[in-house]
Amino acid sequence: MGSSELIFRGHETQPVSDSYSPKPDKPWASVTRPIRYMLREQRLLFVFLGIAIATLIFTLFPASPGFVGSHLVDRLIARGDSVMVVDNFFTGRKENVMHHFGNPNFELIRHDVVEPLLLEVDQIYHLACPASPTNVVGTLNMLGLAKRVGARFLLTSTSEVYGDPLQHPQKETYWGNVNPIGVRSCYDEGKRTAETLTMDYHRGAGVEVRIARIFNTYGPRMCIDDGRVVSNFVAQALRKEPLTVYGDGKQTRSFQYVSDLVEGLMRLMEGEHVGPFNLGNPGEFTMLELAEVVQETIDPNAKIEFRPNTEDDPHKRKPDISRAKELLGWEPKVSLRKGLPLMVSDFRQRIFGDHKEGSSNNEASS
């Protein structure tokens, strides 16, 4: 049964403050109940919530605009789930999911999660997060929805909750070192608040929740020129521009290929553990080392240009993934040197319109 047969009452108002109130009577229950029963009996129905807003003032730390989500949708559809994507397309790209148009198991809804919406679903992957104060509102709305319809809710939190970490590598038990009033705070504290709300809805309202803390992720369909380092370096090398290394380039990050992340998210959703779980690749690189890998992969003659670093830039970051290994049976399979070429062919195609290099849907087999 296609998800298009669902009842969608997206424009009903559902004030955040009534999130804990009992469910009102559903006038269409006699119609929706059998449909819901059949859907549940056949396959789970998913809502995937895409990116919400990246406003002009807050574009500093854009979350993945439809990038991670679109790969997740591919996997869910491939295993036969019905998927509804909710996205306001402020930064997300319709092209990322266009190949599912016409599939009765796929539905796309233009909606901003800062506005409440009501959909009958079993699972919610909440990936929407603008670097703006509205991210907390979006999370509240989605938690309210999960409570109301009894859906399992997965929050994609971030390694940013560890701030500029004083513990290395970072374990989930580490509470972090975040500046509450800095330029990154809106995103970092927004995600920390999202984790808090998620746990409160779990403890207080019995919502089934899952929390993933996602480390730097890259792959095909990543936004070009979004400011993140892998996207910047790859686009710069392809355009024969110098790679812009911020600061002295000795700060470290751990880069995970998108298919590894998607596998981790799905295992987390299906598993029995709330988390939080670090989902990241423990391979740690300085930005200068990353630049070297990009040079090896794209252009050995690419120059490096040093730029002043941004404020509060974390000095190092590397996930301890023992918990995910033990409880989810998950670990990344794609190294940076293997994953980067798969992203490069997609970027080349999108930057130069070159169709010889393969499709934008490249995935590393993992």
Ligand X SMILES: O=c1ccn([C@@H]2O[C@H](COP(=O)(O)OP(=O)(O)O[C@H]3OC[C@@H](O)[C@H](O)[C@H]3O)[C@@H](O)[C@H]2O)c(=O)[nH]1
Catalytic residue of the set 125, 162, 187, 257: 187
Q: Helices marked H in 206-245 — which ranges?
A: 229-238
- Binding residues with ligand X: total (CB under 6 A): 20
Instruction: Write down the least CB distance from residue 313 to ligand X, Å.
Output: 5
170 forms part of the interface with ligand X (CB under 6 A)? no
The span from the CA of 155 to the CA of 211, in Å, is 5
Residue type for position 263: E
Least distance from ligand X to the Cβ atom of residue 158, Å: 3
On the CB side of 352, CA atoms within 13 Å amount to 17
Of 129, 136, 109, nearest in space to 64 by CA: 129
Give 3 or 156: the residue with its C-beta nearer to ligand X.
156
3-state SS of 107-137 is EEEECCCCCCCCECCCEEEECCCCCCCHHHH
Nearer to ligand X, 19 or 256 (CB): 256
User: Quick one: 289 or 357, whose CB is closer to ligand X?
Assistant: 289
Decide if 201 is catalytic: no
Query: x/- binding map, residues 23-62, to ligand X, per CB under 6 A?
Result: --------------------------------------x-
As to burial, measured by CB atoms within 10 angstroms (0-12 exposed, 13-18 middle, 19+ buried), residue 352 is exposed
CB nearer to ligand X: give 16 or 166.
166
List all residues 6 or more positions away from 114 whose beta carbon is below 8 Å from its beta carbon: 52, 53, 134, 137, 138, 141
Tokens 């603008």 -> residue: 130
Sole binder of ligand X in the list 44, 51, 54, 63 (CB under 6 A): 63
Q: Does 253 bind ligand X (CB under 6 A)?
A: yes
Alpha-carbon 223 to chain mean position: 13
Among 14, 70, 134, 158, binds ligand X (CB under 6 A): 158
| Minimal distance, residue 308 CB to ligand X, in Å | 10
Closest CA to 90 of 128, 51, 63, 47: 51
Look up residue 351 and give its two tokens: 């930057």
Angle, CA 88 vertex, CA 83 and CA 93 arms, to 5°: 75
Minimum CB distance to ligand X smaller for 159 or for 281? 159
Q: Hey, which residues does 209 pair with through a beta bridge?
A: 153
Show Cβ contacts of residue 166 under 8 Å, excluding neighbours closer than 6 positions. Answer: 177
Closer to ligand X at the Cβ: 77 or 161? 161
Nearest approach in angstroms of CB 209 to ligand X is: 19
Residue 347 interacts with ligand X (CB under 6 A)?
A: no
Q: Which of residues 216-235 bind ligand X (CB under 6 A)?
A: 216, 227-229, 232
Site string for ligand X, 293-332 (x = CB under 6 A): ----------------xx--x-------------------
- Interface region with ligand X, contact rule CB under 6 A, candidates 49-57, 158-166, 318-326, 328-336: 158-166
For ligand X, the binding residues (CB under 6 A) are: 61, 63, 158-160, 214, 216, 227-229, 232, 244-246, 251, 253, 287, 309-310, 313
Give catalytic residue positions: 187
